[in-house]
Amino acid sequence: MLGNIGNVVCFIIVLMTSHHVTGQAHDVAQLSKRLTILKNSVDDDIGDIRLEIMDLKMIVEQIGVGQRNASDGSIIGHGITDINQREITDLKNKLNAHESRLNRLFSTVSEIQVENSALKSKVNQLVVEKENEANAELLRFNAGIETKFDDIVNAFQKKFEETAAVMMKGYKDLKTHMFDQTNTLSQSMISEQNKLSIKIDKAIVRVDGEVNKLQVNALVEKNERNTLIKNFKAELLQLNAGVETKCDDRVNALQNNLSARIDKADANILKLDASREELKTQIGRLPISVNGYFVKSIFGSDLIKHVKIGTRVVRGRDWIYGDQDGGGPGTVTRAHSGDRYGLVDVKWDMGGEYYYRMGYEGKYELLILAD
């Protein structure tokens, strides 16, 4: 792992150095670009000056031709002879000035090219020197890092070996101590077990003696108990005989008294039953008012038992037929039997004759009028 860290550090330094060299190369490229632009500008100026010089030469030649024609006496020659000699001199001066400027430009371009070549050579030499210095620095730094990390790794390894030796020694000491403690504990447990076995044996002997004593005592107590039980049974039989005699007399007296009371109670019950039936009959005869009519106090399944042809009736609890009865009473004309038991035909005083339920399907649509 330490070796990997060293390699990463070296790689970072290489990147930084290469970035520095790359930056210098970029500066050289920018300078070369600017020199190229300047050279192109100078070349354009030279081209312009050459064109102007050619124009001036043509003008000078035209002037010379005009002078020759003037000497010949031609019309064209006469026109041109009017040109001032000073203007010709100015043209010549301009021509000489442009030639001087052109020569200077050529000289400047040559100097720029020489300087550009020298600068390129110098930059290339500088780049090579920087690269050599960076490579040498990288080699020295890498060697120092490897040496340093090797020392650290060796120190860690040595420390680990020392720690492992100490741990092994501690483990052996602990194992020896645990073995000694285990032997001591085993011997102590064996000694305690022997002592406990001796105590248990003594306790067993003592318990056996006590058990024997208890068995003897139990046998004596058993005999005494049997004697006591026998005497108790005899006394109990005697007491029971006396109690039975007294109880029989008392029971007979109670039975006679109870029989008399029961007979009297039965007579009272019969009287109460007779009174209840009479009261029920009287209550059943009392009419009650329902919907403005007095009807008999007969309800439920008892209704059909008191119905016959000619019985006067009015609408009852389960009536669902609106004003079919005309709001008044009617007369039973028929009481059905068999499967239609509980149905009756009624002819109403207000007109109309229909059948109704008086117990049929559990419905009671009529009540019986009181006499």
pLDDT at 22: 54
pLDDT band at 65 (very low <50, low <70, confident <90, very high): low
pLDDT higher than threshold 60 for residue 3: no
Query: Whole-number mean pLDDT of the chain?
Result: 76
Confidence of residue 365 (pLDDT cuts 50, 70, 90): very high
CATH code matching the domain that covers 286-368, chosen among 2.30.30.40, 3.40.47.10, 3.30.70.3270, 3.40.920.10: 2.30.30.40
* Per-residue pLDDT tens over the stretch 268-314: 888 887 877 777 666 655 678 777 889 998 888 888 999 999 999 99
* pLDDT tens digits, one per residue of 106-117: 777 677 777 767
**160 against 206, higher pLDDT:** 206
| CATH 1.10.287 for the 2-170 domain, yes or no | yes
- Same CATH topology for 2-170 and 286-368: the answer is no
Q: What is the pLDDT of residue 74?
A: 47
185 has a pLDDT exceeding 50: yes
Q: What is the mean pLDDT of residues 142-161?
A: 73
Looking up tokens 């001087």, which residue turns up?
A: 100
The pTM for the full model equals: 0.28
The domain ranges of the chain are 2-170, 286-368
Least confident of 5-9, 164-168, 319-323: 5-9
Query: Is the separation of the CB atoms in 336 and 284 below 8 Å?
Result: no
User: pLDDT tier at 9 (50, 70, 90 boundaries)?
Assistant: very low
Check residue 336 and give its pLDDT.
94
Q: How do residues 194-229 score in pLDDT, each as one tens digit? A: 887 787 777 777 767 776 777 767 677 777 778 877
